[in-house]
Amino acid sequence: MTATAGARTFGATILDAEGLRLTPHEKSFFREADPFGFILFARNVDTPDQLRALCDEMRAAVGRDAPITVDQEGGRVQRLRAPHWSDWTPPLDFAAAAGDVAEKAMYLRYRIIAHELRVVGIDSDCAPMLDVATDATHAFLRNRCYAGDPDTVARLGQAVAEGLLAGGVLPVMKHMPGHGRATLDSHHDLPRVTAARDDLEAVDFAPFRALADLPMGMTGHLVFEALDDAPATQSPRLINLIRDEIGFDGLLMTDDLSMNALSGSYGARARAALDAGCDVALLCNRSLAERQEATEAAGRMTAAAQARAERALAARRAPDDIDIAAARAQLETLLSGRDDG
């Protein structure tokens, strides 16, 4: 199904930039490609003024208020760091230290993160991470998780999402339908999960089912042998499971298509993911020519993807009123064990 004739549809990609400001070639490319949105990395970040200017340039290139996302989980995976932004302990360690007040602490943590993102023009965060940690989870992922049981992951994930949304930042839950059993790093290899379907449904899929009403989600590059031999990102069976069994009808973006868990040209990777049912292809850390290749293969969003994209954008709202200094003080009190409720 294609988008309505004559209507302006977004390009079915999310793209990045090479440096601290857009090059003339990037401005021209983005103007033509009209990606749904952009993603930032540490190489794009220097000072608040510089970052705000870069976000302005990205939106000006496409002529609209395109969403700009970032991986700001805290811990090892956060692109904005001190001295201009807060540094955080890894989510797993943070939640464990917070103990009985972990939900409130996670809400405050991500409400503060949302504030720091919005003031520089970023309005999406690739969180919450709803992967359930196991003893065998690869180190690239394990301490980025929230807990080792699906109920706790879902509760903390809900707190993360609420903190981001309250701060005017769209959450992107990941990695659907669950990456916690991966024993390989999908940046380098293709993980294969051998768990039975009943176990996957009871554990791995459960947090995503609980938060299926969130506006955006990201797939994972791993194989579930009980379901298909293709990576979830490129598997029609797994995308149908995400839609029909998990119940997610938000905008579904791929994880970074440049990761070595996938094979083939970047155009072929993008096309396979979109043909499987993903709405938008994320390609990062590649040359301008490779970004152009993926963009041409991806084309424009389908009507269904465009409708999901517009619903996701409609979920953006102005941040609620908050005293950030007071929020930081409250979080410090929580973590020191002096919570008064």
Position 178 in a domain? yes
Q: Is residue 224 in a domain? A: yes
Q: Has residue 322 been placed in a domain?
A: yes
> Is the CB of residue 200 less than 8 Å from the CB of residue 178?
yes
Alpha carbon 87 to chain centroid, angstroms:
19
Q: Pick the closest to residue 57 from 83, 27, 82, 86 (CA basis).
A: 27
- Residue 164 pLDDT: 98
Cis peptide before 175 (omega within 30 of 0): yes
pLDDT band at 337 (very low <50, low <70, confident <90, very high): confident
Q: Is residue 248 part of a domain?
A: yes
Catalytic residue among 46, 84, 187, 228: 187
Cα–Cα distance measured from residue 86 to residue 177, given in angstroms and rounded to the nearest whole number: 30
The predicted model scores a pTM of 0.95
The fraction of the chain above a pLDDT of 70, given in percent, is 97
Written as six digits, the tokens of 135 are 């003893």
**The pLDDT of residue 3 is above 60:** no
pLDDT of 4 > 90? The answer is: no
Cβ pair 3, 301 in contact under 8 A: yes
- In the residue annotation, 93 being an active-site residue is answered as no
Place of tokens 């009985």: 100
Establish if 240 belongs to a structural domain: yes
Give yes or no for residue 6 having a pLDDT over 60.
no
Q: What is the pLDDT of residue 7?
A: 58
Give 339: exposed, middle or buried? Use CB within 10 Å, 0-12, 13-18, 19+: middle
CA distance 145 to 136: 13
How confident is the model over 281-308, as a mean pLDDT?
Answer: 97
Range of the domain at 143: 11-335
CB 225 within 8 A of CB 192: yes
What CATH number did the domain enclosing 20 receive? Answer: 3.20.20.300
255 labelled catalytic: yes
| Whole-number Cα distances in Å, 180 to 89, 135, 259 | 19, 10, 17
4 within a domain of the structure (yes/no): no
The CA distance from 160 to 125, in Å, is 10
What is the average pLDDT score of the chain?
95
For 20-54, write each residue's pLDDT tens digit: 999 999 999 999 999 999 999 999 999 999 999 99
The number of distinct structural domains making up the chain is 1
Among positive and negative, which fits the CA dihedral 341, 124, 268, 260? Answer: negative
In a domain, 3, yes or no: no
Residue 253 has pLDDT above 70, yes or no: yes
**Domain contains 340:** no
Percent of the chain with pLDDT over 90: 96
- Model confidence at 5, pLDDT cuts 50, 70, 90, reads very low
pLDDT value of position 338: 56
